[in-house]
């Protein structure tokens, strides 16, 4: 089974609006990572948040982590058409393997 579960599965917003995606996980983690995938391409790492961190920023990205609820959120502010992609959270399951959720398909409408 996949470690992360993102919601919503699909999100469509207007350019300039903020987009929020959520991720829940099942087991304890050392860190949680977010990745982006453009259609037909490989995944690109966006940001990593450690288990002892609550919030992290990178440009227009803001990630939060709530280990008590086993959940994380990714916020993209001032969205652009180029942000259209699928976004995945990922964490380590067991000792070794990086496991991904089903992803959120984000569409930014111009």
Spatial separation of the C-alpha atoms in residues 63 and 23, rounded to whole Å: 11
Instruction: Kindly give, in sequence order, each residue whose CB lies less than 8 Å from that of residue 68, ignoring residues fewer than 6 positions away.
Output: none
Q: How far apart are CA 98 and CA 40, in angstroms?
A: 21
Which CB atom, from 81 or from 98, has the smaller least distance to other proteins?
A: 98
Q: Name the residue among 24, 26, 19 with its Cα closest to residue 5.
A: 24
Beta carbon nearer to other proteins, 14 or 96: 96
Q: Which of 14, 68, 69, 94 binds other proteins (CB under 8 A)?
A: 94
Q: Of residues 19, 33, 74, 85, which one binds other proteins by CB under 8 A?
A: 33
**Residue ranges in contact with other proteins by CB under 8 A:** 2, 29-31, 33, 35, 41-45, 48, 50, 88, 90-103, 105
């Amino acid at each position: 089974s996949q470690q992360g579960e993102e919601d919503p599965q699909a999100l469509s917003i207007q350019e300039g609006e903020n987009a929020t995606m959520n991720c829940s996980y099942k087991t304890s983690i050392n860190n949680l990572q977010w990745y982006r995938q453009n259609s037909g391409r490989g995944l690109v790492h966006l940001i990593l948040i450690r288990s002892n961190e609550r919030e992290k920023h990178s440009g227009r990205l803001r990630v939060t982590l709530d280990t008590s609820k086993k959940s994380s959120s990714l916020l993209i502010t001032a969205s652009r058409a180029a942000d259209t992609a699928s976004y995945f959270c990922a964490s380590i399951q067991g000792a070794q393997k990086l496991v991904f959720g089903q992803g959120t398909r984000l569409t930014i409408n111009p």
